């Protein structure tokens, strides 16, 4: 049996609420199938399965909120018959029912709430209570000065496990409160960006790139197309970025105690939400897509990102990020890297600028491109080479 776990959809996610199972025991699943819908800080996410096989057992009831890494279901891998005794196996971590009043994901800070009412508890007791989502204020401490100890929490846990089964049946899905999503996205962005600024030593490079050739080519192409098939300039920027990354694979990587290059170039594209906050869905295998396919991908993911209806792989698979100001906005944007990635490419707005070329000064459409790199992973030379390569591709748009 394979344990199917609550996936992490980014460095900032700690838990998710299982809203709906899309599969039932006995269903055959293959890689990429949607197995469930999970409510996270980033909205309602469709969770994909990465194994082939038959669903054995669903371990978590709908409505339960569980930490990242909790087993959600057991899957029988294809071709292997299930052994009856294995069916008995129950993972150690029990699902935790979410009370309708506890809407927000528990952050460590929520422990301080218990401080406010002067609940004394040992650090370790607090930790295991937090991990098991137990409300310390409901426990009577038996430690020194009435402090709650590990033993007290463990007793409560044992009691809860006994009544777990009946309880979980009754839990209803908590109704979504308005404003909560915007708040939780703000919290998610805050957590990821704080982590980034705290841990990643950024270096910044910038290059002004002449976009006249690219825009001329685009205009010509678009003039032959119906409205629906037209390309936006950003498609060329994404494609050129993906092409350049094939030449600088150290920038398409993650940092986890060392640089780990990623095979696929999955470009996270920053989408601003009208209600505030950002969400960064991935354009999978961007280097293998042509410009039309990238435009299709944008047409698909941007509306879904804005509606907070993304799939798990789109939130967790990005290997590098692009942030694009769009026209009429600021000239330059210096990005903050989304951990554990090691680079973010920032495109300012395209504008007409005096541009010196071959000893002549002319007015050209140009864009200021920046790269923020993780200095633990790469050096300025790599970043500079990347920007030069990006320029090369954008001067030859037909090659894209």
Partner 1 sequence: MNEQEIKKTIFQLLKRIAPDTEPSELKADENIRETLAIDSFDTLQFIVALNEQLGIDIPEEDYGKINTLEALVSYISRKKK
Partner 2 sequence: MEKNNDKITITYREALRQGIRDALQNDERVFLMGEDVGRYGGAFAVSKGLLQEFGADRIMDVPLSESGFVGAGIGAAMTGMKPIVEVMTINFGLLPMDQIINNAATLQHMSGGQLQIPIVIRMGCGIGRQLAAQHSHSWEPFYAHVPGLIVLSVGTHEDARGMLRTALQSPDPVVIFEYTSMLNLEKEIPENSAAVNITEAKVLRTGKDLSIITYGTGVYKCLEAAAELATVGIDAEVIDLRVLRPLDEKTFLASVAKTHRVLVVEDAWRSISISSEISARIMEKVFYDLDAPVQRLCGVEVPIPYPLHLEEASVPQKNDIINAVKKMIRHD
Q: State yes or no: residue 327 binds partner 1 (CB under 8 A).
A: yes
Q: In the complex, what is the shortest distance from the CB of residue 323 to partner 1, in angstroms, rounded to a whole number?
A: 13
Range in contact with partner 1 (rule: CB under 8 A) among 218-226, 259-267, 281-289, 313-321? 218-226
- As a whole number of angstroms, the distance between CA 160 and CA 128 comes to 14
Q: In the complex, what is the shortest distance from the CB of residue 134 to partner 2, in angstroms, rounded to a whole number?
A: 15
Taking CA atoms, 89 is separated from 22, 25, 59, 73, in Å, by 23, 15, 11, 12
Q: What is the DSSP string of 187-212?
A: HHHHHHHHHHHHH--EEEEEEEEE-H
Interface characters, 105-124, with partner 2 (x: CB under 8 A): -----------------xxx
In the list partner 2, partner 1, none, the entry touching 298 (Cβ below 5 to 8 angstroms by class) is partner 1
- As a whole number of angstroms, the distance between CA 85 and CA 23 comes to 23
How many CB atoms are closer than 10 A to CB 183? 16
Residues facing residue 321 across a β-bridge: 268, 344
Applying CB under 8 A, the site for partner 2 has a residue count of 12
Q: State yes or no: residue 150 binds partner 2 (CB under 8 A).
A: yes
Determine the angle formed by the axes of helices 212-223 and 380-395, rounding to 10 degrees. Answer: 40
Q: State yes or no: residue 144 binds partner 2 (CB under 8 A).
A: yes
Q: State yes or no: residue 127 binds partner 2 (CB under 8 A).
A: yes
Show contacts with partner 1 in window 219-248 (CB under 8 A).
219, 222-223, 226-228, 230, 232-234
Beta strand 259-261 with 282-283: parallel, antiparallel or unpaired? unpaired
Using DSSP's 3-state secondary structure scheme, residue 48 falls into strand
Q: In the complex, what is the shortest distance from the CB of residue 310 to partner 1, in angstroms, rounded to a whole number?
A: 16
The DSSP element (H or E) to which 238 belongs, if any, is: helix 233-247
Applying CB under 8 A, the site for partner 1 has a residue count of 19
- Omega within 30 of 0 (cis) for the link into 352: no
In the list partner 1, partner 2, none, the entry touching 127 (Cβ below 5 to 8 angstroms by class) is partner 2
Q: State yes or no: residue 149 binds partner 2 (CB under 8 A).
A: yes
Rg from Cα positions in the chain: 25
In the list partner 1, partner 2, none, the entry touching 326 (Cβ below 5 to 8 angstroms by class) is partner 1
Residue 63 phi, psi (nearest 5) = 100, -10
Which DSSP category does 154 fall into? H
Interface characters, 276-295, with partner 1 (x: CB under 8 A): --------------------
Contacting positions for partner 1 (CB under 8 A): 219, 222-223, 226-228, 230, 232-234, 272, 274-275, 298, 302-303, 326-328
Contacting positions for partner 2 (CB under 8 A): 122-127, 142-144, 147, 149-150
């Amino acid at each position: 049996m394979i344990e199917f776990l609550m996936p992490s959809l980014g460095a900032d996610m700690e838990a998710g609420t299982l809203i709906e199972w899309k599969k039932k025991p006995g269903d055959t699943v293959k890689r990429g199938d949607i197995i469930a819908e999970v409510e996270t800080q980033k909205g309602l996410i469709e969770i994909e399965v990465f194994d082939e096989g038959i669903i054995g057992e669903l371990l978590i009831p709908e409505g339960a909120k569980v930490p990242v890494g909790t087993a959600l279901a057991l899957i029988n891998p294809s071709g292997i018959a299930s052994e009856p005794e294995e069916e008995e196996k129950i993972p150690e971590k029990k699902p935790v029912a979410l009370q309708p009043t506890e809407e927000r994901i528990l952050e460590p800070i929520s422990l301080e709430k218990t401080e406010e009412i002067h609940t004394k508890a040992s650090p370790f007791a607090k930790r295991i209570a937090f991990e098991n989502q137990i409300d310390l204020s409901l426990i009577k401490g038996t430690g020194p000065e009435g402090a709650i100890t590990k033993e007290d929490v463990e007793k409560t846990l044992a009691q809860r496990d006994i009544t777990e089964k009946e309880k979980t049946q009754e839990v209803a899905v908590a109704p979504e409160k308005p404003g909560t999503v915007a708040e939780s996205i703000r919290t998610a962005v805050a957590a990821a960006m704080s982590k980034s600024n705290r841990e990643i030593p950024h270096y910044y490079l910038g290059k002004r790139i002449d976009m006249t050739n690219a825009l001329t080519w685009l205009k010509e192409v678009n003039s032959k197309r119906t409205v629906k098939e037209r390309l936006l300039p950003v498609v060329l920027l994404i494609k050129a970025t993906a092409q350049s990354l094939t030449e600088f694979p150290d920038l398409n990587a993650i940092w986890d105690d060392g640089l780990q290059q990623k095979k696929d170039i999955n470009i996270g594209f920053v989408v601003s939400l009208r209600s505030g906050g950002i969400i960064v869905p991935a354009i999978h295998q961007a280097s293998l897509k042509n410009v039309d396919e990238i435009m299709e991908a944008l047409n698909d993911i941007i509306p879904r990102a804005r509606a907070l209806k993304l799939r798990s792989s789109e939130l967790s698979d990005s290997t590098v990020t692009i942030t694009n100001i769009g026209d009429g906005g600021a000239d330059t944007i210096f990005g903050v890297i989304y951990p554990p990635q090691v680079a973010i490419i920032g495109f300012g707005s395209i504008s007409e600028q005096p541009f010196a070329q071959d000893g002549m000064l002319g007015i050209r459409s140009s864009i200021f491109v920046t790269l923020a790199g993780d200095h633990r992973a790469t050096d300025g030379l790599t970043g500079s080479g990347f920007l030069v390569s990006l320029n090369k591709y954008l001067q030859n748009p037909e090659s894209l």
